[in-house]
Amino acid sequence: MRTSISFLILFSMQVMNTSTAIAQANKSVSIIPKPARIVEATGSLSLKEDVKIFFSEGVDDKEILLSYLSDQLNELTGVRIPKKGSRKLPASNKIIFKKVNDHNWGEEEYSLIVDATGVLIEAKSGKGFFYGIQSLLQIIPINAGIKIPYVKILDEPRYKYRGMHLDVCRHFFSVDFIKKYIDLMAMYKMNTFHWHLTEDQGWRIEIKKYPKLTDIGAWRIEKDGTRYGGFYTQDQIKEIVKYASDRFITVIPEIELPGHSVAALSAYPHLACVDGPFNVENEWGVFKDVYCAGKEGTFSFLEDVLLEVIDLFPSKYIHIGGDECPKTNWESCDLCQKRMKEEGLKNEHELQSYFIQRIEKFLLSKNRKIIGWDEILEGGLAPEATVMSWRGTEGGIEAAKQHHDVIMTPGSHCYFDHYQDDNYIEPTAIGGFSPLQKVYEFEPTPSELNEDEAKYILGAQANVWTEYMHTSDRVEYMIAPRICALAEVVWSGKDQRNWNDFQTRMGHHYELLHQKDINSFIQAPHGGVNKNFFFDQMKLPFEVKLEDAKIRYSLDGTDPDDNSTIYTKPVVLKNTSTIKLQTVHKSGLTSKIRSLECIKISPLVSDTSSGLATGLKYKIIKGKFNNIAEITNDEVMECGVLDKIKFPKDIEEEFYAMEITGFIKVDKKATYTFFNYAIDPTQISIGNQLIVSHEGLNSRHERRGRIHMDEGIYPIKIVMIKNTPYANQQVSWCSNYFDQIPIKSENLFH
Ligand code: ACM
Ligand code: ZN
C-alpha cells in the first residue's frame, strides 16, 4: 500500500482520535471485501437528486463508470442521477473522480473519501475507480435516499487474480444469467470469470469452421429421452465479453483438451483413437474417449478452434483444461504409440505433456498464455504454463517451486459445488463440505513456499461445476454468500480478516443480496432428522447459527409463511405430524424449507429367535432398477452371508439390486439414529418400520431416521440399488445423535 501525503495526514489525524469511530465502524460501514485501511467519522453526507459528477483531467473509462454508477445508485436508492459528467468543478452535492498520477499507486488501488464537502474517489485507472464505486455503493443504505456515512478508505487487493469459474456444460445457462453472475462478481471486486465452455456433456461455443460442434455436440439425450442443451453464438459471446469488460472483469474461456471431449467427438468422431460413433454424454464422470494424440488432424482441428476463440476473447490467458484424461485409448492406439516412439516419449503422461506443450506453443505464437489444471504437471510442465491447483494445494506448491504461476482452487475450500451445510439437510450436491467459514479461512499462499516462490501465487478462484445445479437459482444458492468469503480471502490482507467481524458485516450484505434478487443460501434450522419415530410424545429442539434470524414452522403440512408460528422453545408432538420449518433472516432472505416426518408408533418388540448365526443374509438381483418398487425377484444371481453392509466387491454385473435381511442386536436402551449416504435408492427398515428412505437416482446425499429401541434383537432389512457405475453406500448408526459408526459385525445376525 502506497499512500499520498495528503491522505496520510488525513488518515493519521483521524487515527489519533478514532477509537470511538472504529468501535462504531462495523455498524454503519460494512464493506466486503474489507478494505486495507478504513477510518469512519461521525456524521453523514446527504446527496440530492441533481448530484453532480465531475471527472478530473485524464480519468479513464468515464462513460462506463458514469453509466454503471447511475444504474446502480438508482437500483439501490431509487434516485436517478444524470449519466452526464459536470463540466465545472461543482461546489457541493458532488461526486468527484480524481486521477492519481503517482507511479507508486497500483492499477487496482483507490481511495474513497466521504465528508461534508462530497464524495471523492481517487485512482490511477478505471479499475481503481470502479472498486471505489463498489465500496461507495456498499455503504449507502438501501432505499433511504443517498445518505453516506463519513469515511476515509485507502484500499488495494492482496492478489491480482480473483476468480469465479462457471461450468455451463453440465447445465446450460442463459446470457442474462451469465450477466447476473458477472454483476455479482463485480460487486465483490472479483476480476476474472473462468468460463468452462466445453465438456463431455456439451459443447457450448459456436465455432464457425466446425458447425457440427454445436449442431450435434451441444445437445444430449437425457435418460428420460428428452433433448437437453444449448450454446452461445459468437455474437452472444462478444456481448458477454464486453459486459464483463465494462465491469473490469476478464473472461478466460476454457476449451478442454485432451480429455472431457466426448461432445466434440460426437460431432467429429475421426478425432478419437477408436471408431465412433460417440454420443454426447448424459452421465457425469470421466470418460475414456479423448482426442487422439497421434493424429495430426487433432491438432489442426484444435488450432482452428483456438483461432476463433482468440478472436472472441481478448484475455491474455486461454484455459486448456488438461484434467482427468484417461490414457487407456492412447495405450492401445497405433498412432498414439507411433507418436510416442517418434518423439521419444517414455509413457502416456509424457504424451499428454507433448499434447499440452504443442498447444501452448501454438498459443504463444498468437501471444496468448495457457492455464491448465494441475494434471499438466504430470509428464513435465509446458514452459510458460500457469497451473490451476485443484486436487489440493500440492500441485500449486510444486508449480511455484518450479517458478510457474499458480492459481489456487483446491477442492477443500474453493469448490462451490460442495455442500455448505449438513448433507441430510441440504439439496443434493456433488459431495464434500465447504461451509462459509471454511471458505473464509482459506489461505491461498501455502506456508511451504519461501518469499520468492510465494510470488508465483497469483490468487485464487472458486469452481462452480454444475452437475447438481439444474437451474440458475441453484447456482446462486451455491455461490452466495460463499463468494463474499472468497472475495475477502483474495482481496483483503491476511491480518485484515476476522471471521466474527465478517459475519457482522454479512448482515448488510444479506440485505444487498436480497435486494439484487440473489437466491442466497441461508442456513436451514438444525435439529430432528428426516424421519423421527416416537411412542408417547416427542420433543424436538431446533437452532440456527445465524445472527438476526428466526425459525418459523407449521404442523399442518403447509409451507411456513408470515403467519406461521415463530419458534421459541422445543416443539412437543403427541401425534403423527409433519413439521415444516424454515429460517427467516432480517433481510427477508429465507432458507430452504425442511420437512420432517414425525411418526407415532407402538414400541418395537424384540425378537425371541435364538441360535442365530453371525452376519446378514443377502441376495443380488440382476437388473438396472430405477426405484425400489421396480425390483422383482426374477433374476436372483447370488445369495450369501455378509458381515458388513456394503455392495460385495466381486460382482461382475455393473447394475443390480441387493436385499439384506437378518437381525440387529441393540446392546443398550437409547434413541438410535440410522444414517444412509448413497447415490442410488436405498431403504432401511427395522421390524416393519421403514426408518430411512433414500430416493432419487444418481443423487448423492444422506438420509437419517431416528427411533427409540430397548436392549434386544430386532429384524432389519436393507434394500439398495446400484444403478450408477460409481455408486457407493454407507449405512451407519449411533445412539447419541452425532458419532455415527458403521454397524459392527458383532451386532448383525441371521
Ligand atoms: C476438475 O475439477 N476436474 C478440475
Ligand atoms: Zn490415438
- Do 583 and 714 lie in one domain? The reply is no
Which pLDDT score is estimated for 423?
86
Question: For the ranges 7-11, 217-221, 359-363, 736-740, which has the lowest average pLDDT?
Answer: 7-11
Q: Do the domain assignments include residue 60?
A: yes
Which pLDDT score is estimated for 373?
98
Cβ–Cβ < 8 Å for 732, 740: yes
- pLDDT for 186 beyond 70: yes
Distance 271 CA to ligand 2 centre (A): 8
Distance 409 CA to ligand 1 centre (A): 9
The stretch 287-296 carries a mean pLDDT of: 98
Produce one character per residue of 706-730: b if its CB has 16 or more CB atoms within 10 Å, e if not: bbbbeebbbbbbbbbbbbbeebebe
The CA-CA-CA angle for residues 652, 656, 657, to 5°, reads 135
Closest residue to atom 3 of ligand 1, CA basis: 323
Ligand nearest to the CA of 273: 2
What single-letter DSSP state applies at residue 494?
G
Pocket of ligand 1 (CB under 6 A): 323-324, 373, 390
Identify the CA nearest to 173 among candidates 196, 200, 192. Answer: 196
Write out the residue range of the structural domain in which residue 308 sits.
Answer: 161-515
- Do 177 and 229 lie in one domain? The reply is yes
Quick one: the chain helix, strand, coil %, rounded to 5? 30, 30, 45
Question: For the ranges 12-26, 495-509, 702-716, which has the lowest average pLDDT?
Answer: 12-26
User: Taking the alpha carbons of 612, 616, 620, 626 in that order, is the dihedral positive or negative?
Assistant: positive
The stretch 352-374 carries a mean pLDDT of: 98
- Do 412 and 459 lie in one domain? The reply is yes
CATH of the domain at 256: 3.20.20.80
- pLDDT for 529 beyond 70: yes
Ligand nearest to the CA of 200: 1
Of 138, 155, 172, the residue at which a domain comes to its end is: 155
- Do 193 and 88 lie in one domain? The reply is no
Q: Do the domain assignments include residue 707?
A: yes
The stretch 466-470 carries a mean pLDDT of: 97
- Do 329 and 199 lie in one domain? The reply is yes
Q: What is the identity of the amino acid at 252?
A: I
Q: Do the domain assignments include residue 69?
A: yes
- pLDDT for 177 beyond 90: yes
Cα-Cα-Cα-Cα torsion 321, 326, 331, 334, nearest 10 degrees, comes to -50
For residue 477, CA distances in Å to 335, 415, 473, 594 come to 46, 13, 6, 16
For 369-415, what is each residue's pLDDT tens digit?
Answer: 999 999 999 999 999 999 999 999 999 999 999 999 999 999 999 99
The stretch 609-633 carries a mean pLDDT of: 92
- Do 650 and 537 lie in one domain? The reply is no
How many Å apart are CA 394 and CA 409, to the nearest integer? 11
Q: Do the domain assignments include residue 607?
A: no
The share of the chain scoring above pLDDT 70, in percent, equals 96
- Do 148 and 178 lie in one domain? The reply is no
- Do 137 and 261 lie in one domain? The reply is no
Cβ–Cβ < 8 Å for 287, 262: yes
| Closest ligand 1 atom number to CA of residue 388 | 4
- pTM of the entire structure? 0.93
Q: Read off the pLDDT band of 610 (50, 70, 90).
A: confident
Number of compact structural domains in the chain:
4
- Do 298 and 363 lie in one domain? The reply is yes
For 706-739, what is each residue's pLDDT tens digit?
Answer: 999 999 999 999 999 999 887 888 899 998 777 8
| Mean of pLDDT over the chain | 93
CATH of the domain at 82: 3.30.379.10
Distance 366 CA to ligand 2 centre (A): 27
- CB under 8 A, 24+ apart: contacts of 694-700: 695/627, 696/428, 697/626, 697/627, 697/723, 697/724, 698/283, 698/284, 698/723, 698/724, 699/428, 700/423, 700/428, 700/429, 700/430, 700/431, 700/468
Distance 18 CA to ligand 1 centre (A): 47
Please, is 735 exposed, middle or buried when counting C-beta atoms within 10 Å of its C-beta (0-12, 13-18, 19+)?
Answer: middle
Of 600, 629, 647, the residue at which a domain comes to its end is: 600
For 444-463, what is each residue's pLDDT tens digit?
Answer: 999 999 999 999 999 999 99
Question: For the ranges 47-51, 91-95, 568-572, which has the lowest average pLDDT?
Answer: 47-51
| Closest ligand 1 atom number to CA of residue 321 | 4
Which pLDDT score is estimated for 300?
98
Q: Read off the pLDDT band of 25 (50, 70, 90).
A: very low
Distance 296 CA to ligand 2 centre (A): 10
Which pLDDT score is estimated for 725?
81
Q: What is the DSSP string of 502-539?
A: HHHHHHHHHHHHHHTT-----PPPB-S-SEEEESS-EE
The stretch 698-703 carries a mean pLDDT of: 83
Q: Do the domain assignments include residue 679?
A: yes
Distance 323 CA to ligand 1 centre (A): 6
- pLDDT for 189 beyond 90: yes
Residue to mutate, 324, 375, 377, 393, ligand 1, most ligand atoms under 8 Å from C-beta: 324
- pLDDT for 14 beyond 60: no
- Do 558 and 449 lie in one domain? The reply is no
Which pLDDT score is estimated for 13?
40
- Do 83 and 207 lie in one domain? The reply is no
- pLDDT for 661 beyond 70: yes
Q: Do the domain assignments include residue 610?
A: no
The stretch 232-250 carries a mean pLDDT of: 98
Q: Do the domain assignments include residue 525?
A: no
- pLDDT for 3 beyond 90: no
Q: Is the previous residue joined to 258 through a cis bond, with omega within 30 degrees of 0?
A: yes
Ligand nearest to the CA of 331: 2
Which pLDDT score is estimated for 555?
96
Q: What is the identity of the amino acid at 328?
A: T
Which pLDDT score is estimated for 27?
56
Cβ–Cβ < 8 Å for 259, 314: no
Question: For the ranges 157-171, 343-357, 633-647, which has the lowest average pLDDT?
Answer: 633-647
Ligand nearest to the CA of 271: 2
Distance 727 CA to ligand 1 centre (A): 20
Closest residue to atom 2 of ligand 1, CA basis: 390
The share of the chain scoring above pLDDT 90, in percent, equals 87
Which pLDDT score is estimated for 695?
86
CATH of the domain at 540: 2.60.40
Strand, coil or helix: 164:
strand
Ligand nearest to the CA of 411: 1
For 561-584, what is each residue's pLDDT tens digit?
Answer: 999 999 999 999 999 999 999 999
CATH of the domain at 645: 3.90.182.10
List, in order, residues 6 or more apart from 12 with CB less than 8 Å away.
Answer: none
For residue 153, CA distances in Å to 3, 40, 120, 672 come to 11, 9, 10, 55
- Do 559 and 675 lie in one domain? The reply is no
- pLDDT for 64 beyond 50: yes
Cα-Cα-Cα-Cα torsion 386, 389, 390, 394, nearest 10 degrees, comes to 160
Q: Do the domain assignments include residue 523?
A: no
Of 544, 570, 600, the residue at which a domain comes to its end is: 600
Distance 395 CA to ligand 1 centre (A): 13
